[in-house]
Amino acid sequence: MTITGVIKAVGTSWELPIEIDANTTGGLIAQITPWVVRIDRSYPYGAIAVFPAANGIAVTFQHQDTNTARVGASRSGKLCLDHPYRNRTVMVGTDPIADADSRLAWHFARAQEWVVRAATGDLVRVGDPFEIPKVDASSGSLRVIHDESNRSLSTWRPFIGHFGQVHFRVTPVRNTVVASKFTDRDRHVIQTSSLFPKGTPAQGIHGVWWLWRRPLVSDPWKAVTAWGELAALGEREGVDAFAVLEEISHALRGNGRMFLMLGYPIPKKLGEPDHEIHWETVRMPLLTKAPPKGFRPSRKAWWQSDRRQLFGDKHSMAYVETENWHPDRVQARGRLPESVYRKKVVIIGCGALGSMVAELLVRGGLLELLLIDGEVLEAGNLARHVLTSTSVGVGKASALAKRLREVSPTANTSVVEHHLADPQAVHDRLEDADLVIDCTATNEIPTLLAETYWSVPRRFISASFGYAARHLFLFRSFGVKFPAKDFFSSLEPWLVKERREWAQAEERFEGAGCYSPLFPARADDVAAGAVAVVKFSEEAIEASRDEDEFVVLRATRYGGFCPTAKSEEDAGIRAA
């Protein structure tokens, strides 16, 4: 590596010109290539980035941004130098931020290694994660989402090389639509999306899908950015891309805002079988039915005009931000076991504890949830409820369901906005439930559950706090009805002790007037209890615990709950 000029101040950065020797001839890039190092003025803090010089390499490799546009003295293809080669890199450690003596040298060494590997075709190897070619979304702020996975791959295989229609629906996410349904040219449904199932059809947005056999990249690894590049790839695949575009244009003409979703199968790792379909979305040029200037209004004339004015070889493709929101991806940071998240869960009581349990389950990937609560949210609830002031005066169940649909695009959340008043209502509402969680802390619900019989067994969980959330009482069972007698007999010795603590404590009220005493507990106490309820429920399902079990947990000093000591349990029983 050689410094070839003086450092210059450009905006908030310094720019340093260098040359890098690839130590090889006849490689994918020249032996000596010019580069620009952009250094934040806060060095040794801030960003450091390496770009090809304006007269440097013009192609795009793996571990590099799209290298097309010129930006001052450099091109746009910034190198990825943080973790580009995994365990194959000869450079170890991370960027030594704040070390003025070594930080710049560290980046120089990484850039040198990148160039050597690029020249010899060694940037990626079999077994490396597959790198999706980067595209620059340049067409407005719209985002298109879908939910492709390995399960849908086999559905798509017969349609490689074909195109059809894609339908969109709106979502609660700003400027985001979901590709909700894909159909073939005969309007037969190929696939539907589970994302935001309550969404309505997007008005004025239409689309076409076109499935290719291989990634749409130019060598070495640049996503196609112009219609001519797409056509060149088509030639290699034996596809007349412009002929297909003419058919698509004819079908879309006069329909307003149109999108073309280009897809192809990709593996998880290089050298492995294909795993899923990857989509990129392009905003189609406006195709009007107005007579083309100088031509008669015919299909042939329209295409001749479009080919020249809209689909020229060098005309850019206007990419739209496109993301895969399948749960396998968006919940990859943490997810409940499949045996849990595929259960149909009912939560009775959407107060502080019930709302937090519901949110934890949905964030964990739960797909089916029924919320039952007949109360409305009050201002006083906000101290420890997941809902906000915008929901005051709204039914807790419906407001919570709305929030959970925004939390998870795949959760199917329904509500019952009244209290369960008789065994028949309980039976009907809970008929298809796999797990029923009672967070009401009342005697009424356990009694109703005990008076109801189902032909198919299900799991029951009861969760409630003791005074000031110092204890958490958990009960679980599996059967065709809830064993209320066993539940109450297990809980009663502890309730005697709890009543004594309530009597000794000064009661809290919201204010002047006729109020019931408040249950004292902070939001962090309730959150810790909700975590325990989820773990308790997960354990029951994962371990197939079918026997009745009553567990008392006590609050710990720094948050969370742990099992009570045997001496404390005995004390509770003696107090009875």
331: which 2 tokens?
A: 């919940």
Lowest mean pLDDT, pick from 29-43, 268-282, 361-375, 509-523: 509-523
Sign of CA dihedral 565, 570, 572, 573: positive
Residue 575 has pLDDT above 60, yes or no: no
DSSP string, 306-356: HHHHTS-TTPBPEEEEEEE--HHHHTTT----HHHHTSEEEEE--SHHHHH
Whether residues 350 and 317 fall in one domain: no
**Percent above pLDDT 90 for the chain:** 81
Note whether residue 402 is domain-resident: yes
pLDDT at 89: 44
pLDDT exceeds cutoff 60 at 576? no
Mean pLDDT computed over 565-571: 54
Q: What is the mean pLDDT of residues 324-344?
A: 95
pLDDT in tens, 439-473: 999 999 999 999 999 999 999 999 999 999 999 99
472 lies in some domain: yes
Q: In this predicted structure, what is the pLDDT of residue 292?
A: 74
Mean pLDDT of all residues in 500-508? 71
Residue 359 CA to residue 102 CA, distance in Å, equals 46
Domain that holds residue 305: 143-330
Q: What pLDDT is recorded for position 139?
A: 63
Residue 408 and residue 454 in one domain: yes
Domain boundary pick from 309, 330, 351: 330
Same domain (yes/no): 159, 61:
no
Task: Determine the pLDDT at residue 506.
Answer: 62
Residue 515 is predicted with a pLDDT of 44
Total domains, the chain: 3
pLDDT of 512 over the 70 cut: no
> Which of 119, 153, 172 is the last residue in one of the domains?
119
Are both 221 and 155 inside the same structural domain?
A: yes
Q: 93: domain CATH number?
A: 3.10.110
> Are 97 and 148 within one domain?
no
Q: What is the pLDDT of residues 69-96, one digit of tens each?
A: 888 899 999 999 976 444 444 444 688 9
Same domain, 180 and 113: no
Whether 135 is in a domain gets the answer: no
Q: Say whether pLDDT at 232 is over 60.
A: yes
| Residue 125 domain flag | no
Q: What is the pLDDT of residue 296?
A: 75
What CATH number does residue 543 fall under?
3.40.50.720
Contacts of 351 (CB under 8 A, 6+ apart): 373, 375, 381, 385, 396, 439, 440
How far is it, in rounded angstroms, from Cα 319 to Cα 506?
Answer: 64
Residue 460 is assigned to a structural domain of this protein: yes
Cα(531)–Cα(550) distance, rounded to whole angstroms?
A: 17
In a domain, 129, yes or no: no
Query: Mean of the pLDDT values across residues 426-435?
Result: 97
Task: Report the percentage of the chain scoring pLDDT > 70.
Answer: 93
Residue 121 above 80 pLDDT?
A: yes
Cis preceding-peptide flag for 220 (omega within 30 of 0): yes
Measured over the CA atoms of residue 437, residue 441, residue 444 and residue 447, the dihedral's sign is positive
Confidence at residue 93, expressed as pLDDT on a 0 to 100 scale? 66
490 Cβ contact partners less than 8 Å away, ≥ 6 residues apart: 475, 550
Q: Are β-strands 412-416 and 368-372 bridged in parallel, bridged antiparallel, or unpaired?
A: parallel
Last residue of some domain: 308, 330, 352? 330
How do residues 14-50 score in pLDDT, each as one tens digit? 999 999 999 888 878 999 999 999 999 999 999 999 9
Does residue 454 share a domain with residue 493?
A: yes
Q: Does a structural domain hold residue 370?
A: yes
Length of the chain: 576
Angular region, 63: left φ>0, alpha ψ -120 to 50, beta rest: left
| DSSP codes of every residue in 12-43 | TEEEEEEEEE-S-SSSSS-SEEEEEEEEETTT
**pLDDT tens figures, 146-200:** 999 999 999 999 999 999 999 999 999 999 999 999 999 999 999 999 999 888 9
Residues 198 and 284 in one domain: yes
Split at pLDDT 50, 70, 90, the class of 507 is low
The model's pLDDT over 237-246, given as tens digits with 9 standing for 90+, comes to 999 999 999 9
Residue 221 has pLDDT above 70, yes or no: yes
Same domain, 312 and 446: no
Is residue 571 scored above 50 in pLDDT? no
Give 501's pLDDT tier (boundaries 50, 70, 90). Answer: confident
- Residue at 124 is within a domain: no
How confident is the model over 484-498, as pLDDT tens digits? 999 999 999 999 988
* Mean of the per-residue pLDDT values of the chain: 91
Residues 386-412, mean pLDDT to the nearest whole number: 96
For residues 206 and 268, membership in a common domain is answered with yes
Residues 109 and 60 in one domain: yes
- Whether pLDDT at 516 is above 50: no
- Tell me the whole-structure pTM to 2 decimals: 0.87
